[in-house]
Chains A and B, each alone.
Chain A
Amino acid sequence: MAVQDNIGGAPPRTSLLNDPVFRGIIYQVLVAAAVIGFAAWIVLNTAQNLAMQNKTTGFDFLFRTAGFDISFTLFPWSRTSLYWQAFVAGLLNTLLVAVIGIFFATIIGFTLGIARLSSNWLISRVATVYIETIRNIPLLLQLFFWYFAVLKAMPAVRDSFLLPLGIYINQRGIMVPKPLPDHEFIWVAVAFVLCLVAAIAIGVWATRQRTLTGHYPSSIVLAARVANAVVMFALGYLAFALLGQIIPGLATPMVAAIAALVLVAISFTPYRPYAGAFVASAITFVVAAFLLGGMFNAVPTIAVQLVALLIGLAVGWMMLERIGTAPVDASKFPTALPILVVVGIPLVLYWLIGAELAFEPPVLQRFNFQGGVQLPPELVALVFGLSIYTAAFIAENVRGGIRAVSHGQTEAAQSLGLKEGDRLRLVIVPQAMRVIVPPLTSQYLNLTKNSSLGAAIGYPELVNVFTGTTLNQTGKAIEVIALTMAVYLTFSLVTSAFMNWYNGRVALVER
């Protein structure tokens, strides 16, 4: 017996009622009628209710004066601003927090995801505990915690904590120095951007030449040797300057410069790993001593420095194994060159044209800070909460993506003689990213949607400014909520458009 697989399911019979196509049409008509009827009922009720409350509908309210304050906006705001400007202000604040949050969530999330797969038991355990704790606690609770329990519990303005670099932290948020670039500085910024582009171009070009000819171009190799020496000098100087902070006597520029030159000289001999290892240990030692000093202020300095020294030595040991004894040659990617281009050229320009980038530090006046930039606690708490929460989910996506690449891929790459760096770059990462990017995008969307919880701690984002204040003042519930939803709907559509495009582009071709 031939069986049709269709929605009616029954084998064709004579009765029209049993004809699947006819039934399908009937169903649809019924459902459509019900939906239309329901919608009409709602519209009628709403119209009646609005009429009773003497309310009108329409978007003309957008062009009326808002007359309320917004605590934090990205453009000048006054009480005379209009409602549509309030909408834009909220939207911009949402986007601001989303962008910052996505930045940090990505960094923390990738770090945690990789840490969780680490063969180091301790590191993977710490990452697991983080993930399992954070993702099982409501985001709103975490926001309340950061806002009410941490930031609002900071000392009053008068007793602000002073962090390094002239940053203050108190109940009213974080005060950071305000950069005041002068006219010439714009050229330095332009140079920086151009150098960044140039560095990427150099990298791409060098890699292309490497595949085409089998080795990096000799001009690049020569430049990389020079760059290596310069970077080594800069790092060596930095290392000694930093060491001078802990061991007095090393602090003079003369000593540091001579020592750095010695390191550069060593880096041209087969003993170059030792130069690199020394610089790495010295810098790590000072940074670690400083950080640990801050973390454990109850512990005697000498003990802290001892531990920092151990960490420095471990890093040095690590570098010793990583840095090859051979000098830069045509088979190694010239890492130092792009770094030097991006950092060095703008610095030289800065010095040559006498540009100046001054910082206006926040200064404590009678009641509040003058100068500097104030990051409101609501923004800080929201960024904290969103990035920490979303990072836990991103970490799981990253872990899943890496694990989705079978071990056979690594083994095949190994058996072809590919080194670890190349294995990751050419085989593992490209495959893992295909798996990671789609859920990562939806985490970004989630973070953006979750930024609406900022309303609960008073951060003036879209929902707070618009669905909250504007709605309360105008009473235009339908218009306001529809507009807000339209915004999020747009975000969502853009995201899924991107995902479709990406999936279509990277989909593995199968039979």
Chain B
Amino acid sequence: MSQVSETTVERNIKTSGMQVSKTDVAIDVIGMHKWYSDFHVLRDINLKVMRGERIVIAGPSGSGKSTLIRCINRLEEHQEGQIIVNGTELTADLKRIDDVRREVGMVFQHFNLFPHLTILQNLTLAPIWVRGIPKAEAEATAMHYLERVKIPEQANKFPGQLSGGQQQRVAIARSLCMKPSIMLFDEPTSALDPEMVKEVLEVMISLAEDGMTMICVTHEMGFARQVANRVIFMDQGQIIEQNDPENFFSNPQHERTKLFLSQILH
């Protein structure tokens, strides 16, 4: 009843001009439920994300958006249903979790940079210790991504010396240094001053243009219109409506979606 039919998704992708095959499923969430002790926070979530797809999740605060994407790299565990990431199902097996986390980058609302390390050290820490990449190579990669987020000159500073926008761009670069196949963003711009939002969104847009699989929780509707293949609206722990951005914004179906959009778009 609630499962999005595969054809719908595939057609959706095809409209954006991409090839689809079975192996191209990046994330598959099937009938997933999650509880915080007695509180049923995620209810019957079904979500299939194809490789290269860009998904924006919107919804009122407390609707479970963060919880959903945190389940995808198992910062939270789910109790029912399946989550399959890159063909690996997430279970309590620590080894598998580490394997999945290596392939999935995550960007947090509050950046969570390591304040005791320089920017460069922040970027090379995981490549060196998780992937076993030689330091020189890791630093070269780090500089490459710092250039990509347009702050190579900050490499030897500490996070505390950077502006919020710069810190968030470093956080994105830090995730990219692990060469992830999927990127998760949890409200990456909502802790930023308005003038810094743009610089972070620009980086995200350029990522999207390179074909990165992305799930973004964000209320930046301009961004959604520009890059998303699909927009998902969540409320009270469930997916209420999803559609391509065009239709989602111009022709919302569900009452709650309409209400939400009217509030967020004034």
Known: A411-B75, A422-B129. A417 touches B112 (CB 8 A): no
B128 to chain A, nearest CB (A): 5
CA–CA, A215 and B128, complex, Å: 9
Question: Is A419 part of the binding interface, using a Cβ–Cβ cutoff of 8 Å?
Answer: yes
Q: Which residues of B contact A511 (CB under 8 A)?
A: 160-162
Question: Is A510 part of the binding interface, using a Cβ–Cβ cutoff of 8 Å?
Answer: yes
Whether B114 and A412, one on each chain, are in contact in the complex, defined by CB atoms closer than 8 angstroms, is yes
Q: What 1/0 mask marks residues of chain A from 389 to 430 whose CB sits below 8 Å from any chain B CB? A: 000000000000000001011011111111100100011001
Whether A415 and B106, one on each chain, are in contact in the complex, defined by CB atoms closer than 8 angstroms, is yes
**CB contact list, A209-259 vs B, under 8 A:** 210-215
- Among B96-104, B147-155, B208-216, the stretch that binds chain A is B96-104
CA–CA, A463 and B78, complex, Å: 63
Whether A211 and B135, one on each chain, are in contact in the complex, defined by CB atoms closer than 8 angstroms, is yes
Whether B125 and A417, one on each chain, are in contact in the complex, defined by CB atoms closer than 8 angstroms, is no
Q: What 1/0 mask marks residues of chain B from 112 to 154 whose CB sits below 8 Å from any chain A CB? A: 1111100000000110111111111100000000000000000
With beta carbons under 8 angstroms apart, the residue of A211, A414, A510 that contacts B75 is A414
Q: Which residues of B contact A412 (CB under 8 A)?
A: 106, 108, 112-114, 171
Question: Is B230 part of the binding interface, using a Cβ–Cβ cutoff of 8 Å?
Answer: no
Interface residues on B, range: 35 or more
Whether B110 and A508, one on each chain, are in contact in the complex, defined by CB atoms closer than 8 angstroms, is no
Whether B114 and A409, one on each chain, are in contact in the complex, defined by CB atoms closer than 8 angstroms, is yes
CA–CA, A344 and B171, complex, Å: 46
With beta carbons under 8 angstroms apart, the residue of A214, A414, A426 that contacts B134 is A214
Whether B158 and A508, one on each chain, are in contact in the complex, defined by CB atoms closer than 8 angstroms, is yes
Known: A411-B75, A434-B116, A510-B160. A418 touches B130 (CB 8 A): yes
With beta carbons under 8 angstroms apart, the residue of B116, B158, B161, B175 that contacts A416 is B175
CA–CA, A510 and B116, complex, Å: 11
Interface residues on A, range: 20 to 34
Whether B160 and A416, one on each chain, are in contact in the complex, defined by CB atoms closer than 8 angstroms, is no
A511 to chain B, nearest CB (A): 5
With beta carbons under 8 angstroms apart, the residue of B98, B112, B126, B133 that contacts A411 is B112
With beta carbons under 8 angstroms apart, the residue of B98, B105, B112, B160 that contacts A409 is B112
CA–CA, A418 and B178, complex, Å: 11
CA–CA, A8 and B93, complex, Å: 69
Known: A416-B174, A427-B114. A509 touches B132 (CB 8 A): no
Question: Is A133 part of the binding interface, using a Cβ–Cβ cutoff of 8 Å?
Answer: no
Known: A409-B112, A416-B101, A418-B126. A214 touches B175 (CB 8 A): no
Whether B105 and A415, one on each chain, are in contact in the complex, defined by CB atoms closer than 8 angstroms, is yes
Question: Is B46 part of the binding interface, using a Cβ–Cβ cutoff of 8 Å?
Answer: no
Question: Is A451 part of the binding interface, using a Cβ–Cβ cutoff of 8 Å?
Answer: no
Would you list 12 pairs from A and B whose C-beta atoms are within 8 A, ordered by A residue?
Answer: A215-B132, A408-B112, A412-B112, A412-B113, A415-B101, A415-B105, A416-B101, A417-B126, A417-B130, A418-B129, A508-B115, A510-B160
5 smallest beta-carbon distances between A and B, as pairs: A412-B112, A416-B126, A417-B102, A415-B106, A510-B160
11 A-B pairs besides A509-B157, A510-B158, A510-B161 with CB distance below 8 A are A214-B128, A409-B114, A412-B106, A414-B101, A415-B75, A416-B174, A417-B98, A418-B130, A427-B114, A508-B115, A508-B158
